Amino acid sequence: MSDTASGSPDFDDDEQLMLTMLPSLIGSAVAFSAKSGVVGTAKEMMASAKAAAAGLTAYPENSVITSVLPNMEDRDQALERAKEMRERQLARLKELGVANSSDMKRHALEQAATVNTLLAEKASATEAAEYREWVMGVATAVAKAAKEGGFLGFGGDEVSEPEEQTLAEISTALGL
């Protein structure tokens, strides 16, 4: 493991982008694994963002997590960084031909496995484990954000079968 002066592992730009975008990719993969409708999907996307941001509170000493989340003390800088990362990720998805939900899921699982290997090589065991827990927490929050299969908010499953399957695949890809 190679550390910078700040105590954060040395990740190149592509690695940093992968680490930064994985929670969002995983959240999207879970959200699109089952039909939640417009309101359900909106709830799932909000849950993804909230769970990702919670990483700063849950893991304040984890240099990998804190390096990928925006510094909310400077909102303008945080928004600019988020916009830049989003543009880079969209360009990457387009370059890879990600055009539908199954492509998104495949790409997210591939990235999770790549990040798992990267963390094993460059991060401390503790930081790697916390990053994996954090990403899995994002996935779980998205899966639980909206019921699937109900009618007008009644009935349905908290976590649908396709979401459960996607969660299991994410867990495997992350080495959990």
Complete DSSP assignment for 7-35:
S-B---HHHHHHHHHHHHHHHHHHHTTS-
59-80 tens-digit pLDDT: 999 999 988 887 667 777 767 8
Half-sphere exposure of 37 (CA within 13 A, CB side): 12
| Sign of the dihedral defined by the CA atoms of residues 110, 159, 56, 71, in that order | positive
Report yes or no: 32 and 160 within 8 Å, Cβ to Cβ: no
23-64 tens-digit pLDDT: 989 998 998 887 766 767 777 777 888 888 888 889 999 999
Domain assignments of the chain as residue spans, ordered by start: 13-173
Q: Indicate the pTM of the whole model.
A: 0.81
